[in-house]
Structure 1
Amino acid sequence: MASAMQKCMYVLALLVCGSLNTLTMKIAFTMSGTVDGQSERFEKPWFITFVMFIAMCFALPFDRGMWGKVGSSAEKPLIDASSHSSLTWRKKVVKVMYPAFFDILATGLCSMGFLYIPASVWQLLRGAEIVFAAIFAVCCLKRRLFKFHALSLCFCVAGIACVGLASVWGSEAEAEAKGSENSAALQMLGIGLALSGQVVQAAQAVAEEWLLKDVDLPGLQVVGFEGVWGALAMMVVVLPMVQMLPGSDDGHLEDEYNAVQLLRSSSSLSGLMLLYTFSCATYNMSGIAVTGALSAVHRVMLEALRTLIVWIFGLSVHYLVDPKSLIGEVWTAWSWLEVVGFVLLVLGQMIYGEMLKVPGLYYPPHEEMDESALASPGGVKNLYSPVLRMSPSRSPST
């Protein structure tokens, strides 16, 4: 049982490193390095994705129980009182490979979208995963929605719509305030890419539910081995592919050799990448610790607070530091609509998680929930997946 001091440290690490995770990525996309005497901006979303997977690998050394399984016991079935799986530890590790592939595409799409939209909008749009995961869970896993689920999803959809409209409509005022060129089309492209990433992320949660239902690895091992498989896939397939495909980055879709040159030319950019790596690693581990010491409900509320921190940081940079900074955010005539979207998203998540119960709606007893899903690594990594909160098909929809 974690002490009060430990719980406070977990919560602080989640908030600080979670916010740094978003902010350092955005700042990196606005920084520049020098190649052949010319300044170039570091707009490398796929390289950032690779760094994220490297950071996830650092979860493995912190799992105390893993190293005893690497030896002779790796080929023995791991069956204990809390598990009915007959898979060996090594086979379980291999099965973690599959959701890592989803994670590559999801993170890559989200990172590409981050090039064109403010950090707060990007952070808020991550709440769309709950909607897509519910749709996939109903269509693919044959789960049933209760009325309170449907109501919460309506809140989330309305919130996402408000955030998207506020971003597009407010982009002109923000561009005028910063003295930069406005492009509503780029805003829409960024939103579309971010939402596409959430579709894939939701598909990942459902795939984990189906593929990894008999993989009862500890949370740190799930995160760590997804990082290992993701990093390997990035090095062998994705990075060579984006290097070969034609595009606007020195003739490539993304020039990874150029990314390394930019990092070598700028100590500030290299230091920021190290900070991003640290924040990613610590964020994943502190998230698992918070859910273990408190609950996934607490993490939902902390994630909402993290969004506020990112937004306040952007506003502070614009109004207190540099009005023309690319990482600053302007309070426009449409920002109130973004606030409404934030409130609707939080309310939707709270209703979905049964933190807020709507009078007159039926709430099933916990034994009607699919208990087998509660051990899913999807729940460990996403920590608040709609898949885990829905009734199996045998329960009545009310």
Structure 2
Amino acid sequence: MAWTKYQLFLAGLMLITGSINTLSAKWADNFTAEGCGGSKEHPFKHPFLQAVGMFLGEFSCLAAFFLLRCRSTGQSDSNVDVQQPFNSLIFLPPALCDMTGTSLMYVALNMTSASSFQMLRGAVIIFTGLFSVAFLGRRLAPSQWLGILATIAGLVVVGLADLLSKDDSQHKLSEVITGDLLIIMAQIIVAIQMVLEEKFIYKHNVHPLRAVGTEGFFGFVILSLCLVPMYYIPAGSFSGNPQGTLEDALDAFCQVGRQPLIAVALLGNISSIAFFNFAGISVTKEMSATTRMVLDSLRTVVIWAVSLALGWETFHPLQILGFLILLTGTALYNGLHRPLLSCLSRGWRPTQEGEHERLLGDSRTPINEAS
């Protein structure tokens, strides 16, 4: 079945905005500028401030939800309105998970390449599957267990490629290892977040845009307030600002003032996350979750290609192998092999059908139609 123009638009929007989200964050990290008080030029390493911007983008999804609800007012077949009353505070725990996981990922993005960062995020499949079994009482199909094993193998290959593509200095190697481990840790937290979201969204019949926007509100407010104590918490070599603290938002604003392109990168990150969430939810609704998974995999390819073209990273053949293994694991876990097997089965059956027609006469009714 051919896609409609609207479906093509949604698919393109998801692919483009999803790619921009990671690339804009990495672009901001690559800038160097003077900070406050005439400090010398230094890299823009402000992961917690970037996380605040990401939550601002998620918060804007609430506006999209209320616009959709206003447009659907009076339509009997609308599914935008919440069917059951719920307390918004139920989304505070997943918001805290999102806040922690996102902050860790932005810290890790400073330590690794954009393509490896995106590939390693595939680890969320492993922990989502295990937690859904442990906490939601689900039973995974054999293909899903195979998908988890393939994902683990893919992560090992991608991590190895990430190490081999870096310098041989101990500092670089330790930085890469730390970054990769932080991404894996973040995916454990994100998996917990996804399990909680699924439980609350289906229990209270909450529209996904409203859930994302509510979490964005909590994350934006809490993390913005946390920037104040972070300004005074010493972080030593872990810090990326001259003051040596966990986060120096004032230094970030000074750097933005001296290098306006950083503001462009940050705005790209904020706006892209809002459109990406809207497009992703719409793709799942209009097409399927499988389509969303395929587009998300294509996003990794786009990020990888752009990073190589801009010279942000060097090519290593192992990344191709790692990506293909991860793609296989994701496809198995999400059941993408089923439509492929079905297509192959349909392609095989007509041949058999033809043979039966020649043997049984001129009947044109498939003998296996009922199945």
**Is TM (by shorter chain) over 0.5?**
yes
Q: 2:325 aligned with 1:344, yes or no?
A: yes
**CA distance in 1 between partners of 2:229 and 2:120 (Å):** 28
Q: 2:216 aligned with 1:223, yes or no?
A: no
**CA distance in 2 between partners of 1:134 and 1:182 (Å):** 35
Q: 2:195 aligned with 1:193, yes or no?
A: no
**CA distance in 2 between partners of 1:68 and 1:9 (Å):** 20
**CA distance in 2 between partners of 1:55 and 1:358 (Å):** 35
In the TM superposition, what whole-angstrom CA distance separates every residue of 1:152-210 from its partner, at most 9, and x where no partner exists? 1111110111001111122137x9xxxxx961111000001111110100111122234
Task: State the aligned residue count.
Answer: 327
* Deviation for aligned residue 1:88: 2.1
* Deviation for aligned residue 1:61: 1.9
Larger helix fraction of residues:
2
8 Å Cα contact 1:33-1:269 kept in structure 2: no
In the TM superposition, what whole-angstrom CA distance separates every residue of 1:318-365 from its partner, at most 9, and x where no partner exists? 2xxxxxxxxx1112xxx22211111111111111122114999xxxxx
Q: 2:196 aligned with 1:207, yes or no?
A: yes
TM-score, normalization: structure 1?
0.76
Q: Which amino acid aligns with 1:159?
A: G
In structure 2, the gaps of 5 or more residues are 342-371
In the TM superposition, what whole-angstrom CA distance separates every residue of 1:35-71 from its partner, at most 9, and x where no partner exists? 23322221011101000000111112222355699xx
* Deviation for aligned residue 1:141: 2.5
**CA distance in 2 between partners of 1:3 and 1:351 (Å):** 24
* Deviation for aligned residue 1:264: 2.2
2:313 alignment partner, one of 318, 329, 343: 329
8 Å Cα contact 1:125-1:163 kept in structure 2: yes
Structure-2 change in CA distance of 1:94 and 1:160 (3 Å): same
Structure with greater Cα Rg:
2
8 Å Cα contact 1:32-1:269 kept in structure 2: no
1:258 alignment partner, one of 251, 263, 274: 251
Q: 2:85 aligned with 1:88, yes or no?
A: yes
In structure 1, the gaps of 5 or more residues are 70-79, 176-180, 319-327, 361-398
Structure 1's consecutive aligned runs of 4 or more residues displaced over 3 angstroms after TM superposition are 65-69, 80-83, 209-213, 357-360
Partner of 1:141: 136
For the residue of structure 2 that corresponds to 1:171, the secondary structure is coil
In the TM superposition, what whole-angstrom CA distance separates every residue of 1:80-120 from its partner, at most 9, and x where no partner exists? 9989x98525x2x3322221111000101111111110100
2:233 alignment partner, one of 231, 241, 245: 245
Structure-2 change in CA distance of 1:131 and 1:94 (3 Å): same
Alignment of 1:1-398 (within 5 A): 4-35=4-35, 36-37=37-38, 38-63=40-65, 64-66=67-69, 87-89=84-86, 91=87, 93-172=88-167, 183-236=172-225, 238-247=226-235, 248=239, 249=241, 250-318=243-311, 328-331=312-315, 335-357=316-338
Q: Percent identity?
A: 27
8 Å Cα contact 1:95-1:212 kept in structure 2: no
For the residue of structure 1 that corresponds to 2:34, the secondary structure is strand
